[in-house]
């Protein structure tokens, strides 16, 4: 048997879940729909219409399966989501895209119509997108063959599944509602009540095209009556895109919509008109030759299918085939079955597949945006990574253990654990032949059930008297016996109706039936009488105290006991006995106190126990187990009658040794319900067969068995039976966690509940559970549950179990941290812990990985990172500091490896926290006061790994804290926090920096990153850096790392230089004296060369960012120099007598910067306007200060750059700046003037800007250009 691996959930409806899946052993991914069996008609319809269709615009069907609980449909995987999702995201689509999508829709729909299939419910949610953008029709639940009655087909499928009378099992009103689609896209004629047709599908297509363009359907209202009114009588508004900036609809598109949305189907566009419409720009020219006859051909072909009835499809395939062949219909045999098995899902030989065929992958995979629309009325809730499940937003007060366990007890048994199915005529126990009677020899009116219900009292009494008279007849002839059997068959048929059964049970007929059961001359009549009694008991809605049910129970018990060796007889009588006992039990439960008149004789329990034993036929075993299962669902005295010391092991024996799955499920279900009354029933099983054997049974491949076993274990744990043994059993915990891979929501929920019981009583198991990926399972399932919305009962149950488990784990973490702190506090300052202290350390410190698991989880992280957590964490770091410094010794107690692992995990936990700055926003002062001091101390550690780890954490945390946005109400607290941080770094960290910066990589990178963050945040810190004499060390770092200009260290050092140079309070004189100019020249030259190298495309972004920082540094340096020179000149002019020596010295120090002119000019044509802006400013100041000092300033290449810039720049300000630079160059250097005279392209550019060129509208630009030309002799 092939298996499938299920990955993430990609869609959900009220009764269906869609998974991305893969066939085991292949790399073929598929979409797998897991749906409740109540959707069988819809899924069967989907399969029968598509199982042979292969078309690029229709989702391909692969296969389908039936397992014990679900139907599984395997179809093509479409990874692009649904059209509905695309429209929702984009709001509206451009007309070209609507055309492209429309071509796909029309191609797919045209193919369906050619095959004779009407889609009937076209909506954007049922159109899926394949990766490349191809649209595909999906979800054929409501599609049909033209002329077919879909209600009849659904009723037939449902009736076949129910195994009998469709009239009772499938109400017509229910079927009518099931075949209705979305009213928003429904054509007017359908609203009026006519049947679906080609033209109604084309109306829906028009609505879809309209919605794609406008972002909303042509007719919409929250009120159904208003919507119907609009569809029938209002014309749609012209389609207007939601985005007003988008172009309006073309006349072709409006004309197309007008043709498709004609309310009169006779006037609506036909296929011929649609395919030839000008909007498609001849996309369908290949079909032109066929389109003229298309409508008539399709209609003719479809007409042949109308006469066939859905009943013929399933019940007489040969007749359907003959009829189809005779009429010459073109419809594929896909829709007219030649073999009933064609509509049967795959199953194993001799029974259904097990749910374990579909294994839920525990490997987390990236969630896709794939949407798969499900059956009508099933609104898909698409899981999205951007949306956090409400489970991750757990709120509410602290739960005491008492409250927690009280809520858990309410979750032990779910509705699905207590489902009751009939004992009599149960096809899973024994298939009964259909009951038939002959009205001709009935000797009374063969009233239908409907007529019997509405008979007047007098007519009912007459009817009842006739029935009683015939039943009471003592005539023993063959004809009389046959007539009585025929009457009993008729009674079996009408007893299936609740109201009729209730009236018959409380009539004199019931006493007569008991008498006949006792005295009838042959067993055929007795067996039929027993069946009538059983059916009456099964279907009655009540029970009067004077009804002789106990007499019937006693008689049936005696008959079974007297004929115990007659297995066939037991099979006839046991179901009736069971239905009567169950009837009494349910009525007693309703009355809420025992009735003496309903006391079941002990002999009945004895007989049933005998029927359970080994050696009996399996059918008898099954019936007895089914009786116990049903009766023990109730809280009644009758259920208590089954509680004996041997009942548990007997049912367990049946469960373990039977080869029939349905019997095994019934036996374990009965044991589960017995345990609800008396946990000792399951306790007796464990004591007899052993705990290991019971745990191994959880490996069953049948979901129901796993579910009942989990319920049994939960019940045991809640009572405290075998509690200590179970919570210490690692294999038990591992087995439970493996069940979290189950595709069944209920099983996963119960597994979480069992784990919760274990963790409450043994928190050390939390570590084992985390190592077995419990947190990953919780995250996966928390994404799939959406409390607050209407859910499947299974998802709601899972949500409740998960909520309690998450709450408990969140509340458990402070206790774990408290235990770790106590253990460390007890040995603080001790070199040799005592034996007790060492034991405590060995028990508590290994639990630290739990913290790491929780802070790395998106479900737990927001709830565990609190002020209390950060305080505890900081205290643990302080103890680690003590251990690292040698004040405390824990290596001897737990071992060196364990000690190092504890420190590493502790540091890793905080590393995980700082990845999410929002978590620390409200706790900055706590971090600064309690976490950063021990981290600063660990920077001095002798252990290289801890030193590096601590410095990295310190650097990243500091960057995070200083860049936090502060709310207005917390500014005062933030000032205090800043002051503490500054003091800590000044007093404890900066004194170490000279040594730190000289360490091997990557230590300097982290150290510099911290300095960058602090200098950006605080001008005061800039002065501290200068006072700490770190400038020479920073320049040494540059020298040591200049071979790797793009490395992290150089990026940080350049950022730091930028902060130092641009700070107003910076001591520039000190920087110049330490060699700032030399280092900036070298760094700028290397970086600019990298950026200008057209062959070097690696690390473009990093190099560009560095270049911009260096340009800012250069601009600040030149601005500073310019300012000093300006002040000196002003002092000289004013005659104040100031010395110009300082300015002259500075100019001399800065002169090497003139070498950068030949690099600044090639940077001017940069595509980045910011690079041009700052480069041109730097160049302008340089030529102002030094004129044409650089001999290569107007080299041919640079002249060409100037020419291109002057002609390409349109902003007069930029043109003037470039012209002034040129003017300064040529007026200060004869060499540059000569170069200009030979620079033809530059001269032409200047002529173009001058007035004679006729192109310049700006007089200042023209004047400058003219001045330069005149200087050059032009």
* Residue range 1256-1271: mean pLDDT, rounded: 79
Condensed to tens digits (0 to 9), the pLDDT of residues 6-35 reads 877 788 777 888 988 888 777 778 999 999
Condensed to tens digits (0 to 9), the pLDDT of residues 446-457 reads 888 888 888 888
Angle subtended at Cα 831 by Cα 830 and Cα 837, rounded to the nearest 5 degrees: 60
In sequence order, the β-bridge partners of residue 16 are 35
The DSSP code for 764 is T
Better-predicted residue by pLDDT, 179 or 64: 64
CB 130 within 8 A of CB 80: yes
Question: How many C-beta atoms surround the C-beta of residue 806 within 10 A?
Answer: 21
- For 1066-1085, b where at least 16 C-beta lie within 10 A, e where not — what string? bebeebbebebbebbbebbe
Give pLDDT, residue 1152: 92
The span from the CA of 639 to the CA of 629, in Å, is 9
Q: Which two tokens stand for residue 387?
A: 């949306």
The span from the CA of 280 to the CA of 95, in Å, is 11
Give pLDDT, residue 1098: 62
In sequence order, the β-bridge partners of residue 61 are 75
The DSSP code for 1045 is T
The span from the CA of 158 to the CA of 154, in Å, is 6
DSSP result, 1139-1204: --HHHHHHHHHHGGGGGGHHHHHHHTT-S-HHHHHHHHHHHHHHHHHHTT-STTTT-HHHHHHHHH
* Residue range 1050-1055: mean pLDDT, rounded: 90
Q: Would you say residue 442 has pLDDT above 60? A: yes
Q: What are the residues whose beta carbons fall under 8 Å from the beta carbon of 48, sequence distance 6 or more?
A: 313, 334, 335, 337, 342, 343
Give pLDDT, residue 1208: 87
The span from the CA of 387 to the CA of 479, in Å, is 75
* Residue range 1026-1032: mean pLDDT, rounded: 84
In sequence order, the β-bridge partners of residue 20 are 31
Q: What are phi and psi of 934, to 5 degrees?
A: -65, -30
Give pLDDT, residue 1132: 80
* Residue range 602-626: mean pLDDT, rounded: 92
The model's pTM: 0.66
How do the domains of the chain map onto residue ranges? 4-343, 787-913, 1187-1271
Condensed to tens digits (0 to 9), the pLDDT of residues 481-497 reads 888 899 999 999 999 99
| Sign of the C-alpha dihedral computed for residues 212, 213, 214 and 217 taken in this order | negative
Condensed to tens digits (0 to 9), the pLDDT of residues 568-600 reads 999 999 999 999 999 999 998 888 776 677 889
Condensed to tens digits (0 to 9), the pLDDT of residues 917-929 reads 888 888 888 899 8
Most confident of 218-227, 871-880, 1028-1037, 1252-1261: 871-880
Q: Would you say residue 330 has pLDDT above 70? A: no
The span from the CA of 106 to the CA of 102, in Å, is 6
Condensed to tens digits (0 to 9), the pLDDT of residues 499-520 reads 999 999 999 999 999 999 998 8
Give pLDDT, residue 341: 42
SS3 label, residue 74:
strand
Minimal CA–CA distance to 75: which of 133, 3, 20? 20
Q: What are the residues whose beta carbons fall under 8 Å from the beta carbon of 285, sequence distance 6 or more?
A: none
> What is the Cα 1037 distance to its own chain's centre?
49
Q: What are the Cα distances from residue 746, in Å, to 12, 13, 1208?
A: 16, 17, 70
Q: Would you say residue 314 has pLDDT above 70? A: no
CB 1265 within 8 A of CB 1249: yes
Q: Which two tokens stand for residue 79?
A: 């990874």
Q: Would you say residue 559 has pLDDT above 50? A: yes
In sequence order, the β-bridge partners of residue 74 are 32, 63
Q: What are phi and psi of 94, to 5 degrees?
A: -65, 155
CB 655 within 8 A of CB 699: no
Q: Which two tokens stand for residue 1?
A: 């048997």
Question: How many C-beta atoms surround the C-beta of residue 519 within 10 A?
Answer: 10
| Sign of the C-alpha dihedral computed for residues 732, 733, 736 and 738 taken in this order | negative
CB 96 within 8 A of CB 48: no
Minimal CA–CA distance to 715: which of 369, 285, 409? 409
CB 399 within 8 A of CB 807: yes
Q: What are phi and psi of 405, to 5 degrees?
A: -70, -30
Q: How many residues does the chain have?
A: 1274
* Residue range 155-170: mean pLDDT, rounded: 60
Condensed to tens digits (0 to 9), the pLDDT of residues 1184-1225 reads 988 888 888 888 888 888 888 888 888 888 888 888 988 888
Least confident of 64-68, 111-115, 397-401, 455-459: 397-401
Question: How many C-beta atoms surround the C-beta of residue 247 within 10 A?
Answer: 9
Question: How many C-beta atoms surround the C-beta of residue 933 within 10 A?
Answer: 17
**Beta strands 70-76 and 61-66: pairing type?**
antiparallel
- Residue 877's Cβ-count burial label (10 Å; 0-12, 13-18, 19+) is buried
Question: How many C-beta atoms surround the C-beta of residue 238 within 10 A?
Answer: 14
Q: What are the Cα distances from residue 1135, in Å, to 1129, 1138, 1145, 1146?
A: 10, 8, 21, 21
In sequence order, the β-bridge partners of residue 273 are none
Q: Which two tokens stand for residue 739?
A: 């069940």
Q: Which two tokens stand for residue 648?
A: 């548990």
Rounded to the nearest 10°, the torsion over CA 282, 287, 289, 295 is -120
The span from the CA of 1036 to the CA of 117, in Å, is 80
Least confident of 7-11, 301-305, 1033-1037, 1178-1182: 301-305
Q: Which two tokens stand for residue 716?
A: 């045991």
Q: Would you say residue 334 has pLDDT above 60? A: no
What are the catalytic residues? 121
Minimal CA–CA distance to 668: which of 700, 705, 627? 705
* Residue range 616-641: mean pLDDT, rounded: 93
Domain spanning 4-343 has what CATH number?
1.10.510.10
SS3 label, residue 136:
strand
Count how many Cα atoms sit within 13 Å of the Cα of residue 572 in the half-sphere of its side chain: 20
Residue with tokens 């004779």: 116
The span from the CA of 200 to the CA of 188, in Å, is 8
Q: Which two tokens stand for residue 1073?
A: 């004296």
* Residue range 350-371: mean pLDDT, rounded: 48
What mean pLDDT is reported for the chain?
A: 84
* Residue range 993-1017: mean pLDDT, rounded: 87
Give pLDDT, residue 492: 93
As a three-state string, the secondary structure of 537-566 is HHHCCCCCCCCCHHHHHHHHHHHHHHCCCC
Q: Would you say residue 41 has pLDDT above 50? A: yes
Q: Which two tokens stand for residue 497?
A: 């109706």
Q: What are the Cα distances from residue 1237, in Å, to 473, 1164, 1246?
A: 137, 22, 12
Better-predicted residue by pLDDT, 314 or 602: 602
**Beta strands 29-36 and 16-23: pairing type?**
antiparallel
Name the band, by pLDDT with cuts 50, 70 and 90, for residue 1138.
Answer: low
| Percent of residues, the chain, with pLDDT higher than 90 | 44
Condensed to tens digits (0 to 9), the pLDDT of residues 252-301 reads 999 999 999 999 999 999 999 999 999 998 888 754 444 444 444 444 44
Minimal CA–CA distance to 82: which of 378, 386, 387, 374? 374
Minimal CA–CA distance to 854: which of 780, 794, 804, 909? 909
Angle subtended at Cα 628 by Cα 623 and Cα 629, rounded to the nearest 5 degrees: 90
For residue 817, give the H/E element and its range.
Answer: helix 793-827
The span from the CA of 263 to the CA of 221, in Å, is 18
Give pLDDT, residue 978: 77
């Amino acid at each position: 048997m092939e298996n499938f691996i299920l990955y993430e959930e990609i869609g959900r409806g009220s009764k269906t879940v869609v998974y991305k899946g893969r066939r085991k052993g292949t790399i073929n991914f598929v979409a797998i729909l897991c749906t409740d069996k109540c959707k069988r008609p819809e899924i069967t319809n989907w399969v029968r219409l598509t199982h042979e269709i292969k078309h690029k615009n229709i989702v391909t069907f692969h296969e389908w399966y039936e397992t014990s609980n679900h139907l599984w449909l395997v179809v093509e995987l479409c990874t692009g989501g649904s059209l509905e999702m695309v429209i929702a995201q984009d709001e509206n689509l451009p007309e070209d895209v609507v055309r492209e999508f429309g071509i796909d829709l029309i191609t797919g729909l045209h193919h369906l119509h050619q095959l004779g299939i009407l889609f009937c419910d076209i909506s954007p949610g049922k159109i899926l997108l394949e990766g490349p953008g191809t649209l595909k029709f999906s979800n054929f639940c409501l599609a049909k063959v033209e002329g077919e009655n879909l209600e009849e087909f659904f009723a037939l499928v449902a009736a076949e599944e129910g195994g009998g009378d469709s009239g009772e099992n499938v109400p017509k009103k229910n079927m009518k509602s099931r075949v209705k689609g979305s009213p928003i896209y429904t054509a007017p004629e359908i609203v009026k009540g006519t049947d679906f047709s080609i033209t109604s599908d084309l109306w829906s297509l028009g609505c879809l095209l309209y919605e794609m363009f406008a972002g909303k359907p042509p007719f919409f209202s929250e009120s159904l009556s208003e919507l119907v009114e609009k569809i029938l009588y209002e014309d749609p508004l012209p389609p207007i895109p939601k985005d007003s900036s988008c172009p309006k609809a073309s006349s072709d598109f409006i004309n197309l919509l007008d043709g498709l949305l004609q309310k009169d189907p006779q006037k609506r566009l036909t296929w011929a008109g649609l395919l030839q419409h000008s909007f498609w720009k001849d996309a369908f020219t290949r079909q032109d030759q066929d389109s003229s006859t298309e409508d008539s051909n399709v209609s003719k072909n479809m007409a042949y299918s109308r006469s066939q009835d859905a009943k013929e499809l399933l019940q007489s395939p040969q007749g359907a085939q003959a009829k189809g062949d005779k009429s010459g219909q073109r419809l594929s045999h896909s829709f007219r079955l030649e073999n009933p098995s064609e509509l049967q899902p795959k199953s194993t030989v001799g029974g259904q597949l097990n749910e374990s065929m579909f294994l839920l992958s525990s490997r987390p995979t990236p969630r896709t945006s794939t949407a798969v629309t499900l059956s009508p009325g099933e609104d898909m809730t698409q899981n999205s990574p951007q949306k956090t499940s409400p489970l991750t937003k757990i709120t509410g007060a602290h739960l005491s253990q008492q409250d927690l366990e009280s809520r858990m007890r309410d979750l032990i048994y779910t509705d699905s654990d207590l489902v009751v199915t009939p004992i009599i005529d149960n096809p899973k126990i024994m298939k009964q032949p259909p009951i038939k009677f002959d009205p001709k020899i009935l000797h009374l009116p063969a009233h239908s059930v409907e007529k019997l219900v509405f008979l007047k009292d007098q007519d009912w009494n007459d009817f009842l008297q006739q029935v009683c008279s015939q039943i009471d007849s003592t005539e023993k002839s063959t004809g009389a016996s046959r007539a009585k059997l025929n009457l009993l068959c008729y009674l079996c048929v009408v007893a299936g109706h609740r109201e009729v059964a209730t009236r018959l049970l409380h009539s004199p007929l019931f006493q007569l039936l008991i008498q006949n059961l006792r005295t009838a001359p042959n067993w055929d009549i007795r067996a039929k009488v027993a069946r009538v009694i059983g059916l009456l008991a099964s279907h009655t809605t009540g029970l009067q105290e004077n009804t002789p049910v106990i007499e019937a129970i006693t008689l049936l018990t005696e008959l079974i006991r007297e004929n115990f060796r007659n297995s066939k007889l037991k099979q006839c009588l046991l179901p009736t006995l069971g239905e009567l006992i169950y009837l009494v039990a349910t009525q007693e439960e309703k009355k809420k106190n025992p009735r003496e008149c309903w006391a079941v004789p002990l002999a009945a329990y004895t007989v049933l126990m005998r029927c359970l034993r080994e050696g009996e036929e399996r059918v008898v075993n099954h019936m007895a187990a089914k009786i116990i299962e049903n009766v023990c669902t109730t809280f009644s005295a009758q259920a208590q009658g089954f509680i004996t010391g041997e009942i548990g092991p007997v049912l367990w024996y049946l469960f373990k040794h039977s080869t029939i799955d349905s019997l095994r499920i019934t036996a374990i279900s009965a044991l589960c319900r017995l345990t609800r009354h008396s946990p000792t029933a399951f306790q007796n099983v464990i004591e007899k067969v052993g705990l290991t054997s019971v745990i191994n049974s959880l490996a069953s491949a049948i979901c129901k068995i796993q579910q009942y076993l989990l319920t049994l274990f939960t019940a045991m744990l809640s009572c405290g039976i075998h509690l200590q043994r179970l919570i210490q059993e690692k294999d038990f915990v591992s087995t439970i966690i493996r069940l979290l891979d189950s595709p069944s929501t209920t099983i996963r929920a119960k597994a979480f509940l069992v784990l919760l019981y274990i963790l409450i009583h043994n928190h050390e198991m939390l570590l084992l559970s985390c190592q077995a990926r419990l947190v990953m399972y919780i995250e996966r399932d928390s994404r799939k549950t959406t409390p607050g919305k209407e859910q499947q009962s299974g998802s709601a149950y899972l949500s409740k179990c998960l909520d309690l488990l998450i709450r408990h784990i969140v509340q458990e973490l402070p206790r774990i941290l408290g235990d770790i702190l106590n253990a460390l506090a007890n040995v603080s300052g001790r070199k040799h812990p005592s034996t007790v202290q060492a034991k405590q350390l060995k028990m508590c410190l290994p639990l630290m990985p739990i913290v790491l698991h929780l802070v790395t989880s998106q479900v737990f992280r927001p709830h565990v990172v609190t002020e209390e957590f950060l305080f505890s964490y900081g205290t643990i770091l302080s103890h680690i500091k003590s251990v690292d410094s040698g004040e405390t010794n824990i290596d001897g107690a737990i071992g060196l490896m364990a000690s190092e692992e504890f420190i590493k995990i502790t540091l890793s936990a905080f590393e995980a926290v700082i990845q999410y700055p929002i978590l620390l926003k409200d706790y900055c002062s706590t971090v600064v006061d309690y976490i950063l001091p021990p981290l600063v101390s660990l920077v001095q550690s002798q252990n290289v790994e801890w030193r590096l780890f601590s410095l990295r954490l310190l650097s990243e945390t500091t960057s995070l804290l200083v860049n936090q946005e502060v709310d207005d109400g917390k500014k005062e607290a933030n000032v205090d926090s800043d002051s503490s941080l500054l003091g800590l770094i000044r007093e404890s960290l900066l004194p170490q920096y000279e040594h730190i910066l000289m360490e091997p990589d990557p230590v300097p990178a982290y150290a510099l990153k911290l300095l960058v963050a602090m200098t950006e945040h605080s001008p005061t810190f800039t002065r501290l850096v200068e006072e700490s004499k770190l400038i020479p060390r920073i320049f040494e770092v540059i020298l040591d790392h200049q071979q790797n200009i793009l490395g992290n260290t150089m990026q940080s050092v350049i950022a730091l230089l930028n902060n130092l140079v641009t700070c107003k309070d910076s001591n520039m004189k000190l920087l110049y004296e330490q060699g700032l100019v030399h280092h900036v020249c070298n760094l700028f030259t290397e970086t600019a060369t990298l950026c200008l190298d057209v062959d070097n495309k690696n690390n473009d972004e990093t190099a560009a960012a560095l270049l911009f920082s260096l340009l800012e540094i250069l601009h600040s340096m030149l601005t500073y120099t310019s300012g000093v020179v300006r002040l000196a000149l002003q002092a000289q002019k004013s005659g104040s007598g100031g010395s110009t020596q300082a300015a002259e010295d500075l100019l001399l120090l800065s002169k090497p910067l003139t070498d950068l002119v030949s690099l600044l000019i090639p940077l001017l044509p940069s595509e980045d306007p910011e690079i041009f802006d700052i480069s041109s400013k730097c160049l302008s100041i340089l030529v102002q200060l030094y004129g044409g000092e650089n001999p290569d300033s107007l080299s041919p290449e640079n002249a060409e750059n100037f020419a291109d810039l002057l002609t390409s720049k349109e902003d007069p300000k930029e043109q003037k700046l470039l012209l002034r630079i040129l003017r300064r160059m040529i007026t200060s250097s004869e060499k540059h003037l000569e170069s200009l005279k030979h620079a033809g392209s530059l001269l032409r550019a200047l002529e173009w800007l001058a007035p004679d060129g006729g192109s310049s509208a700006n007089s200042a630009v023209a004047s400058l250009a003219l001045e330069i030309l005149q200087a050059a002799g032009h």
